[in-house]
Chains A and B, each alone.
Chain A
Amino acid sequence: MNIVKWQRPTLAWPSFGRLANLHDEIDRLFESPFSELTRTSQLLSGWTPALDVYEDKDSFVVKAELPGMKKEDIEVSLHDGSLSISGERKTESKREDSEVYRAERFFGRFQRTVSLPAGVAADKVKAAYNDGILTITLPKTEEAKPKKIDVSVN
């Protein structure tokens, strides 16, 4: 595939950059039909960072792919049993003088909300951001943890 110089849109329409890649998106869809479905939906809804949720006996762990963010631009909040991750990825201002050959990355706001089962110790939630992945650890309350009951046999 040849790289054709990307034209800066004359209209102030924020999603134009991604629509310009429609052809690429279709190519991808045929290459890998299942894994790329979520990516294609970004055309309509902006940026939807992919999430994984895990559960072990002590906690729930949410992992979100947020490459290239600044830690301070990520917001995590817990309200009424739902965890919300939001933020904004900003374009670097130094890019304004450069010519753009390819613009596949999304810049702008995103938000994702996950409903959590009961029993999260809200005051013990921790978040870490490493290698572009946000990891939120939500420990369970003592009551929600599975308990082992020793049965004594007489």
Chain B
Amino acid sequence: MKAALQKETRSATPERAESVQYIVPDVNIYETKDGYELEAEMPGVNKDGLEVTLEGNEITITGHRTNEVVTGEVLFRERNHANYRRVFDLDPAIDTARISARMNQGVLLLFLPKSEAVKPRKIVVSE
């Protein structure tokens, strides 16, 4: 198997004593020749509420909802208002120093570039 973001650790385990429930965001992961692109759905989260942390080879995505102002009585409620969290183990080939992230309408776009050494390279054959 080609290891991408190798293993996924389920992130529901709370760190503190009180149980904190997180939504595990839906993700798409793509591989291009330059790296991996991860999209995670976190509606209600903007740039200020996003936290991406790297510890060793483990990347944690946390999305805090910026407080939505809601007044009045609830007539109908389907949305889960918890924060988001998901953890991935990274392929060692990823150049962690150049990881970049941006938010676009509640979707996190994380770009995980491959280090130059592992990129496919065309070798010119000399005569």
Task: Write the residues of chain A forming the contact surface with B, with a CB cutoff of 8 angstroms.
Answer: 1-5, 28, 31-32, 35, 38, 50-57, 60-61, 63, 65-69, 95, 97-106, 114, 129-133
Contacts and interface: CB of A to CB of B under 8 A. Distances in A.
A143 to B, nearest CB: 19
17 contacts: A2-B8, A35-B23, A38-B78, A51-B78, A54-B72, A65-B106, A67-B41, A95-B30, A97-B32, A100-B29, A101-B5, A103-B28, A104-B26, A131-B45, A131-B105, A132-B42, A132-B43
B46 A102 contact: no
Contact of B44 (A32, A51, A56, A132): A132
A75 B90 CA distance: 39
A65 to B, nearest CB: 4
A131 B66 contact: yes
Contact of B107 (A67, A102, A104, A106): A67
B6 A3 contact: yes
B53 interface: no
A97 B5 CA distance: 19
A28 B21 CA distance: 13
Contact of B21 (A32, A98, A131): A32
Contacts of B23: 35
A133 B68 CA distance: 10
A101 B26 contact: no
A57 to B, nearest CB: 8
- Chain B contact residues (Cβ within 8 angstroms of A): what range? 35 or more
B8 A3 contact: yes
B94 interface: no
B16 interface: no
Contact of A102 (B10, B21, B27): B27
Given A100-B29, A100-B30, A132-B105, A52 B78 contact: yes
Contacts of B103: 131
Contacts of A54: 70-75
B12 interface: yes
B31 A53 contact: no
